[in-house]
């Protein structure tokens, strides 16, 4: 019901904006990005991925690779690729997103931390705990104060070390998080 209605509204909005402003106008691209997100929530991942691929090409041309809207598309496209089994394609996009945030903001910025978290979680989901470790290490080092995010990163780092049979290192991270 509601998702089908949202799909219809987003499709109409994207079509109207394309007709009025052009296929590659930023507002049109934003509407298409929204349409892809609704498609994904309606279990239409292949269609959503294809649409975001088109949006990304246009955003790179119109806005540049480091524009926040482009980076948002890169992030969502990486998620869709991962969900569809294209791990290499997803990893390339997650790496690109992280590099862009690091270049623009450094390691202490929330957007960089979000990109680090996405990469760590990507590897965790694939049960590649060794690959997740450097991202969780970067996360724990990026928080100055002891807060909830740092504690969570410490716990996840402990989990990754335990899954790679580095039990003493895992114990140290769990103890640090619980101290």
Whole-angstrom distance, CA of residue 16 vs CA of residue 179? 57
Q: Where are the beta strands (DSSP E) in the chain?
A: none
Tokens 């394309």 locate to 18
**What pLDDT does 150 receive?**
82
**What pLDDT does 141 receive?**
83
**What pLDDT does 177 receive?**
83
45, 52 contact by CB (below 8 A): no
Whole-angstrom distance, CA of residue 42 vs CA of residue 2? 10
pLDDT values of the chain reduced to their tens digit, one per residue, 179 residues = 788 888 999 999 999 999 999 999 999 999 999 999 999 999 999 999 999 999 999 999 999 999 999 999 999 999 999 999 999 999 999 999 999 999 999 988 999 999 999 999 999 999 999 999 999 999 888 876 667 888 888 899 999 999 999 999 999 989 888 87
Q: Which two tokens stand for residue 25?
A: 């106008």
- What is this structure's pTM? 0.89
**What pLDDT does 145 receive?**
66
Helix (H) / strand (E) containing 35: helix 26-41
């Amino acid at each position: 019901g509601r998702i089908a209605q949202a799909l219809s509204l987003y499709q109409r909005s994207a079509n109207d904006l394309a007709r009025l402003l052009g296929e590659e106008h930023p507002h049109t691209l934003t509407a298409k990005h929204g349409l892809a997100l609704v498609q994904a929530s309606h279990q239409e991942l292949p269609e959503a991925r294809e649409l975001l691929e088109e949006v990304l090409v246009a955003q790179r041309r119109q806005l540049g690779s480091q524009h926040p809207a482009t980076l948002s598309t890169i992030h969502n496209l990486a998620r869709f690729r991962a969900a569809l089994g294209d791990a290499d394609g997803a990893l390339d996009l997650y790496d690109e997103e992280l590099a862009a945030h690091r270049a623009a903001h450094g390691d202490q910025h929330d957007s960089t931390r979000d990109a680090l978290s996405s990469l760590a979680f990507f590897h965790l989901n694939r049960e590649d705990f060794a690959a997740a470790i450097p991202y969780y290490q970067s996360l724990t080092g990026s928080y100055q104060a002891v807060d909830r995010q740092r504690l969570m990163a410490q716990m996840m780092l402990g989990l990754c070390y335990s899954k790679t049979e580095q039990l003493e290192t895992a114990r140290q991270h769990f103890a640090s998080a619980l101290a």
